[in-house]
Amino acid sequence: MSDALKRGLDVLASIAALFVLSPLLLVLAAWIRMDSHGPALFRQERVGRRGTRFSVLKFRTMIDRAPNEIDQHREAVVSTNADSRVTRAGRWLRITSLDELPQLWNILSGEMSFVGPRPVLPEQVAAIPAEYCVRFNVRPGLTGLAQVRGRRSLGWLDQLKADAEYVDGRSLPFDLLILLRTVVVVATGRGIYGDESKNWRAFLERE
């Protein structure tokens, strides 16, 4: 599949989705603001195609904290719905994956695609072995092969392997299959929470 075709489909689909979902987006934003102190949107620096950094958008699901209060190397993984850092609205948003909807703007702006490897934190780049850096040849995705295979329940290397497999075999039918499987994964809530022993920090510590 050519990059121009994929980009064209991303633009058309993101415009349509934003138009259809705009009432829901407004309702969710208002609910988040009423439920806890802080903005409705959470912005976080991520690394995308060709190593370009951009601000990924999400609905805020955790208590509001300044960026300098979050140490990505030490921050505990949210492994349960009862985590005190997660707000009441945030628990439901995480279960339904609706917290990811603001990334439609990232797709429309060209920073992301509907399907591709999930964008990584700058701190995570050091934990990506050279053979898996092909992920940076494509735009990061709202969903991807690693997400439909288990999301955060997968080990770090298994996630990277799935991402590399996607980049090598990407095509329009493959993207459509991943999107369909994403619906099933979201509906079942599988793989929402991770395991400290399987994440990228644990990989760096072993190295």
Query: From first to last of its 207 residues, what are the pLDDT tens digits of the chain?
Result: 788 999 999 999 999 999 999 999 999 999 999 999 999 999 999 999 999 999 999 999 988 876 666 766 666 666 666 678 889 999 999 989 999 999 999 999 999 999 999 999 999 999 999 999 999 999 999 999 999 998 878 889 999 999 999 999 999 999 999 999 999 998 887 777 766 667 888 777 776
Per-residue confidence (pLDDT) for residue 61, from 0 to 100: 92
Q: Are 45 and 122 in contact (CB under 8 A)?
A: yes
Taking the C-alpha atoms of residue 164 and residue 57, their distance in angstroms, rounded to an integer, is 24
Per-residue confidence (pLDDT) for residue 74, from 0 to 100: 66
Q: Which of 77, 100, 81 is nearest to 186 (CA)?
A: 100
Q: How far is CA 203 from CA 11, 178, 190, in A?
A: 36, 27, 23
Per-residue confidence (pLDDT) for residue 154, from 0 to 100: 86
Handedness of CA 130, 132, 135, 140 (dihedral sign): negative
Single-letter residue type at 51: G
pTM (two decimals): 0.90
Per-residue confidence (pLDDT) for residue 52, from 0 to 100: 96
Per-residue confidence (pLDDT) for residue 92, from 0 to 100: 92
Per-residue confidence (pLDDT) for residue 207, from 0 to 100: 61
Tell me how crowded residue 85 is: count the other CB atoms within 10 A of its CB.
Answer: 12
Per-residue confidence (pLDDT) for residue 77, from 0 to 100: 67
